[in-house]
Amino acid sequence: MTQADCVESIMAHVRGVVEGLFAASADWCDGHWLYEAEYATREAVLAAGRRLLQALVDRRGPGHVGHWHTDASGEVRSFKEYKTRAVETLVGRVSVRRASYHSPSATPGTVQPLDAVLGLRHRYSEGVEEVIAFNASQLTYEETAAVLEKALGLRLSQTAVQSIAAGWGEEAMAARADRTPEERGSSRMAIAVDAGKVRTAERRRKRRGSRKQHFTEHWTDAKLGVVYRFDRRGKSQSDQRYVASVQGKEPFGQALWTQIAASGADRAKHVVWLGDGAEWVWSLKREHLPHAVEVLDFYHARDHLHTVARALWPRRTSRRRRWVKTQEQRLFTGRVARVLRELRGHARSLGPPPDDVAGDDPRKALADNVRYFKNNAPRMRYDLYRRQGYPIGSGVVESGCKHVIAQRMKITASMSWSRSRAEAVLQLRSLVRM
C-alpha cells in the first residue's frame, strides 16, 4: 500500500468514527452526558491512533537486511524466518513483523534487528515502559497497575510493574552521565548531603521442611545529595539535581560527582558544601570537591544545643529556652568559641562520663557535644557565610529526604525492600525529581 493509500484509508476511518460519534450522542444519558462523550471520544482517538501507528510500523518494514546479518560485535547470522510480535503501546496493541536471523554458535542464537531499531525489548513499547516506571516511582506497584488499567486499559501484574520499574532504575544508574546534559553553570553553587533510613530485607535460608520464605529486616542508610544554585541571599533556585543510593559511600560519591560536573559546580566561583556532623559527609567533600566552603547546617547545630539544655535542666523549660536562645545568637553571629567555652564549663562541673554510662546521662551528653562543637567549629562561621550570601541551612536536602526517599520508600510503616529494588526505585525517583 502506498503512502497516499494509507492516508486515505486512515482519513476514511476517522470520518466514519466521527459520524458514528455524532449518531451515538443522541443516546447518551442526561446527567452523565459529558462523561460518556469524553470516554467515547477517547476510544475513538485511540482507535484512529492505533491504525496510524500500525501503518507507520508496517511502512517501516520488517528489518530484513539480506540473507546475512552482522551485529555490532561481529557475530554473523543467517536469515531464518519472519516473526510477528504483539506490542502494547500508548495507543493500544499493534502487530510488528520482524525478520529473524539465527546462528547456532552465536550468543544469543537468534536476533531480530528491527527490535533494536524500534527500541523493543519485551511486549511493551518504550513509551509504555516509561509510563510504568514513572508511576512506579510515585506509587506502590499495586496502585501503579490500577492506574495503568484505568488510564491506558493495560492490565499488568504487580510483578510485571516491579520488573519493568527495576529495569529502568538499573539502566538509569548506568546511563545517568549520558542523560545529564552539561550546563554553563552559575557562579554560586551548593552541594547538600544527608541520609534517610530505608527498611531493607535479606532472604534467609528456609528451615528444613518449611515452605515459607524468611527474611531479616534492618534499616539501611539511603544517602541523598542535591546540587543547586543559590542567589546572593543564600536562597536556593528552582533547579535542583538529586542523587540517591543505598549502595554505599563510593558509588554514591561517583554519582554525585557526575551531577556536580554536569552542573558546573566544580567550576563555580562560590561553591558551598552543606551537611550535618557525620564524618562521611566531609570525607566525601574532601575527596570530590576539596576547595568548597564547608558549612555545617545551622539548624542541626541548634538541635545539639537543645540536647544539651534538656540534659542540664530536664524539668526547667523556661531556663532551657533562655539558654538555647543565648547560645543560638552566639552561633549566628560567629561566636562559636564562646559557645564552646560555655559547654566546657558545664562539662567540667558535671565531671567526665564513666565508661559504662547510659546514653541519656547528662555527663555523656555534655562530653559528646563538646566534641561535636570542637570538631565542627571551622564549619560554623555563620557571620562570615551570611556576609558572603552563602546558605547556612540544609533544608533543601532535608526536603529531598522526605520527597525523594521517604515519600515512596515509606508509604506504609512496614514497607521493606531488597537492596537492588530499593536502589532501582531511588534512581527513578532521582531522575523524576531533576
- pLDDT tens digits along 387-399: 999 999 988 888 8
Start-to-end Cα distance in the chain: 45
pLDDT for the residue 174: 63
- CA pair distance 384, 90, nearest whole angstrom: 55
Q: C-alpha angle with apex 383: 381 to 385, nearest 5 degrees?
A: 70
Domain count, the chain: 2
pLDDT for the residue 210: 61
* End residue of a domain, out of 140, 160, 177: 177
CB 139 within 8 A of CB 115: no
- Among residues 377, 384, 316, 379, the alpha carbon closest in space to that of 341 is found at 377
25 occurs within a structural domain: yes
pLDDT for the residue 302: 93
132 occurs within a structural domain: yes
- CA pair distance 26, 24, nearest whole angstrom: 5
251 occurs within a structural domain: no
Cβ within 8 Å of residue 102, ≥6 positions away: 77, 78, 80, 109, 110
* End residue of a domain, out of 177, 208, 242: 177
Domain that holds residue 14: 1-60
- CA pair distance 87, 98, nearest whole angstrom: 12
263 occurs within a structural domain: no
46 occurs within a structural domain: yes
Question: From the first residue on, what is the mean pLDDT of each consecutive set of 10 residues in the chain (434 residues)?
Answer: 85 89 88 91 90 93 94 93 94 95 94 93 89 89 90 87 85 60 74 90 65 71 92 85 89 91 91 92 94 95 93 90 95 94 92 81 90 94 95 88 85 79 86 72
- CA pair distance 233, 388, nearest whole angstrom: 8
Beta strands across the sheet bearing 214-230: 236-245, 214-230, 188-204, 270-275, 293-296
172 occurs within a structural domain: yes
* Cell numbers given for 281: 559527609
135 occurs within a structural domain: yes
Cβ within 8 Å of residue 402, ≥6 positions away: 196
CB 327 within 8 A of CB 301: no
CA dist 112 → 61, 77, 93, 103, 117 (Å): 12, 10, 19, 12, 10
DSSP 3-state assignment of 317? Answer: helix
202 occurs within a structural domain: no
Dihedral sign for Cα atoms in the order 219, 405, 131, 423: negative
pLDDT for the residue 175: 62
* End residue of a domain, out of 177, 210, 244: 177
pLDDT for the residue 63: 94
pLDDT for the residue 303: 93
